[in-house]
Chains A and B, each alone.
Chain A
Amino acid sequence: MPYAFYRLQRAAHHKDFKRPHPEPPDARIFSASGSGGTRKIKIVRRVLDVNEQIAARNRRRFAQHGVFVLNVMSSPGSGKTTLLEKTLARIASCIPCAVVVGDICTTHDADRLAVSGVPVVQINTDLFGGDCHLAAHVIESAVAEMELDGIRLLIVENIGNLVCPAEFDIGEDARVVVLSVTEGEDKPLKYPLMFRVCDAAILNKTDLLPHLDVDADAAVNNILKIHPDMPVFALSSKTEDGFDPWIGWLEEMVHHKQSHTDSQGL
């Protein structure tokens, strides 16, 4: 895989990141009713309608290229970047990968991930107000110039935040939440939406367990209270202890999409 590292420049791409505006609602959905000098205009529209339309467009583009897109989310400092460094080291020789990294500021994570040799795009959300999540239009801009042909797995490392990214579809195929044992076992209960919308969870930094008063089983049970039957991979990104089941799950997901794409003749 040739080394390639794109950095979205503040000035050059600022225009691309302007918040897209919704189309005016269809006139047919207007219905007016009057009472006491006021009139109600019915709208019935999802507030994130525009984001969802762009996410659908992203999803179509990814499907055309047979790219499996993984959205990785967590609170800051849970070990997403280390997890991805180790994951890429294991799979990038067999599965052509690319990465989009979101941070409010700095290119530290992209610099670390570029060492793997896969194409990396860094998004800095301070370009548009320090957004706390990656929205679909940001992903659309980030991958616009990326050569997707031949890429099988696109990993999106979302902004560190357990709240907002859960609400924004970016056109991904699967979502993974990373929780580190140092965050405490109760976080899934405090941030239920994140654990509800994800397809798999990683309990990271298990190498630290001997030094902590944290009950890893309780953390896993709390994840399963919010999302029963969800795969949970307890592992250490540092030592790679427990890594095999996670890699196996990811490879299976990528191959499943690939075979689906082949059978659809896309």
Chain B
Amino acid sequence: MHEMGIALEIIDIAAASIPADLAGVQVKTVNLKVGKLAAIVPESLRFCFTVATKNGPLDGAELVIEEIPVRARCEHCRHEWHVEGPAFRCPQCDAGRITLLSGRELNIESIEIID
């Protein structure tokens, strides 16, 4: 629901990352990592990004989203695993004290500009 706000943040960060001597350059892609647990719908985010980049420094850029799986570590037996469904107990020892290793990312990784 807040994808437009997220898209605007992404555009701000990406635009600010273009070095001053390359101002006006065309941005081909903005590369994002989004964890599967993040409260983001990739389709909606791409749509908002396309709308919000119109007529700005990122006009025409494509938002490339890499989805990151949810991984967890059991703090009891140190087992690490991919969390596939909505279940956050250790599949080995059934302990509940776990640490999420990945899956909450909402990171802008890089931009690709056309020389």
| A positions within 8 Å CB-CB of B | 19, 21-25, 30, 34, 37-50, 129, 131-133, 161, 163-164, 166-167, 188-189, 192-193, 196, 222, 224-229
Query: Could you pull out 24 A-B pairs where Cβ atoms are within 8 angstroms?
Result: A22-B12, A25-B16, A34-B115, A37-B115, A40-B112, A41-B18, A43-B108, A45-B108, A46-B106, A47-B13, A47-B106, A48-B9, A129-B5, A132-B2, A164-B39, A167-B2, A192-B88, A193-B38, A193-B104, A222-B86, A225-B87, A225-B88, A228-B89, A228-B96
CA gap between A23 and B13 in the complex, in Å: 8
Smallest CB gap from A37: residue in B: B115
Closest CB pairs A-B (n = 10): A228-B96, A24-B16, A229-B96, A189-B86, A164-B2, A132-B1, A167-B39, A47-B106, A163-B39, A42-B110
With A25-B13, A38-B28 as contacts: A167 and B38 at CB distance below 8 Å: yes
CA gap between A161 and B111 in the complex, in Å: 32
B92 interfacial by beta-carbon distance below 8 Å: no
A193 touches B89 (CB 8 A): no
A22 touches B37 (CB 8 A): no
Q: Which residue, A50, A166, A167, A224, has most C-beta atoms of chain B within 10 A?
A: A167
B8 interfacial by beta-carbon distance below 8 Å: yes
Q: Could you give, for residues 1-38 of chain B, a 1 whenever the CB lies within 8 Å of some chain A CB and a 0 otherwise?
A: 11011101110111011110000000010001000011
B113 touches A39 (CB 8 A): yes
Complex contacts, A131 vs chain B, CB 8 Å: 2, 5
Q: In the complex, how many residue pairs between chain A and chain B have their CB atoms under 8 Å apart?
A: 121
CA gap between A176 and B100 in the complex, in Å: 19
Complex contacts, B111 vs chain A, CB 8 Å: 40-41, 43
**Nearest CB on A from B74, distance (A):** 11
> For chain B, what secondary structure do more than half of its interface residues adopt (helix, strand, loop), or is it mixed?
mixed
| B positions within 8 Å CB-CB of A | 1-2, 4-6, 8-10, 12-14, 16-19, 28, 32, 37-40, 86-89, 95-98, 100, 104, 106-115
Select one of B19, B89, B95 contacting A41, CB under 8 A: B19
Complex contacts, A224 vs chain B, CB 8 Å: 96
Smallest CB gap from A133: residue in B: B2
